[in-house]
Amino acid sequence: MTRKLDPRTKLFLLIVINVVMMTGKISGVFFYVRLAMVAIPFVLMLKNKMYSGAGIYVAMYTYVFALEGYTMESINGVLLIIILFTTGMVSRFLAGGMMAYLVMKTTTVSEFVTAMERMHVPKVIVIPFAVIFRFFPTIKEEWQDIRYAMKMRGIGAGGKNIMQTLEYVTVPMAMSVSKIADELSAASMTKCLSVDGKRTHIAKVGFSWPDLIFALCAIGALAMHIFYGGAITG
Amino acid sequence: MNKRLEVKDLINIGIYTALHFLCVFIIAMLGFIPQVLIFAGIIEGFIGAIPLMLFLTKTKKPGMLTIMGILLGVITVIMGRPWQSILFAAGAGIISDIVWKLGNYKSPKAAVVCCGTMMLWMGAMGLPLFFSFRDNYLASLEEGYGPDYVEVIRSLTPDWMFFVMILIAVVGGILGGLFAKRLLHKHFEKAGMTE
């Protein structure tokens, strides 16, 4: 059995990937730093048996990196800007986005809450954060349902009258969201979240050797980033 | 009335923070076009105000908006912004909290102002472009997007533009608040938020 990564490690990796990919330099040795950052979600995808996703991911990055190297040297003008725009967007956001997706997909709420409590993060932060974390996929589902309902009644999402479309989207969204909030708080009642005192867990959360490897990798990248001309220094 | 935050309140905070963030983030993607970058704030505020308004109908206790601000800050830090941005977002939360308290947790006028003050957290999103972060960030952009693009960005964003951008976002928030107030009129009446 392979141990899962600790949620804390995953969050740390997510932050480092975002910092390096979004604001780091690209050329020279930093190319390899970026490559390492790109590799992290890839390895995790393989570990979670998302083979087709991993394939597409690698293909996209190969394409983008190759294009970036090629265009910078040989194309000028408007075309350059357009191409760099698309490649830049992909190379900056894809790794972080993928990592965020993986964090959400592979971490259960109880693991997340346990890990955060180990870090002594107060409950008023942990619970809303856990909700946010679980809520992004739900928003997507609701959004699709609303779009579908609108289509059935012949209202396009683009629409001529933007204000009206906005109303048709927001009001059902508001209703379903407040219902979801009620359901979630009912669910939390059964889990005794509102009871004070120390909670107990059956979620196994702890660091193991894969955590160490990934964390060292990330710390290395971050150190490179900060000491050798990275963008953001605390 | 019980002033302590219950789990139900915390869940509401989470849900509406997620919605608000998503609305703003999708629009913020447009900010990659340099000329839009400056004015994106007004649309961000406008759209972001809708979930915010809904959230305010459920906010009857002190501290909830502060927590929302902190959470927004945490998300921006996770997205690779400098850690100082968390202070911005938390500040926005605290200010909105005070405004909403002065409005007695039900005044629609205060709610509209809240939508504006909450948008102060956009300062956190724009932070890497300004002050001491500026040169390094632009250097990294230059390698990624080419010198032409960076030249446009550089000429469009002197340091004072930071405050203008925040101001624009705040105005957008207030406009959005006014719009959301009309849009969700019936809904608000049910929640007891009338003049």
HSE (side-chain half, CA atoms, 13 Å) at A77 = 1
Contact (Cβ atoms closer than 8 angstroms) between residue A11 and residue A216: no
Q: How many CB atoms lie within 10 A of CB A144?
A: 10
Burial of A62-86, coded b for 16+ CB within 10 Å and e otherwise, reads: eebbebbeebbeebeeeebbebbbe
* 8 Å CB contact between B159 and B131: yes
**Is there a contact between B80 and A25 if contact means CB atoms under 8 Å apart?**
no
> A62: which 2 tokens?
């190969």
Interface probe with A: pick from B5, B6, B15, most Cβ of A within 10 Å: B15
* Chain B 87-126, residues with CB within 8 Å of chain A CB atoms: none
Taking an 8 Å cut-off on Cβ atoms, the answer to whether B146 and A72 are in contact is yes
Banded pLDDT at B80 (limits 50, 70, 90)? confident
Asked if the Cβ–Cβ distance from B7 to A178 is below 8 Å, we say no
Residue B29, pLDDT > 80, answer no
From chain B, pick out residues whose CB is under 8 angstroms from the CB of A102: none
User: Could you read off the pLDDT of A104-117 as tens digits, one per residue?
Assistant: 888 888 888 888 88
Closest CA of chain B from A96, distance in Å: 8
Which amino acid, A173? M
Q: Is A205 helix (H, G, I), strand (E, B) or coil?
A: coil
Establish whether this prediction's ipTM goes over 0.90: no
Residues with Cβ within 8 Å of residue B185, at least 6 apart in sequence: none
> From residue A109, how far is each of A106, A135, B142 by CA, in Å?
10, 11, 40
Lowest average pLDDT, out of A219-233, B73-87, B161-175, goes to A219-233
Q: Structural domain boundaries of chain B?
A: 7-126+166-185
Q: Which of A132, A161, A175, A196 is the mutation pick for testing B, counting most B CBs within 10 A?
A: A132
Selected residue with higher pLDDT from A189 and B70: B70
| pLDDT score for A234 | 38
What SS3 state is found at B42?
Answer: helix
CB contact under 8 A, B74 and A84: no
Q: pLDDT per residue over A130-175, tens digit each?
A: 888 888 888 888 888 888 888 888 776 555 667 777 777 777 887 8
User: If we measure between CA atoms, which residue out of A208, A203, A210 comes closest to residue A44?
Assistant: A210
What pLDDT score was predicted for residue A158?
57
Q: Are A84 and B145 in contact (CB under 8 A)?
A: yes
Kindly state the tokens that stand for B72. Answer: 């927004």
Contact B16 A177 (CB under 8 A): yes
DSSP-based three-state secondary structure for A48: coil
Give the other-Cβ count within 10 Å of B176's Cβ. Answer: 28
DSSP A75: -
Q: Tell me the shortest Cα–Cα distance from B60 to chain A, in angstroms.
A: 15
Amino acid type, A190? T
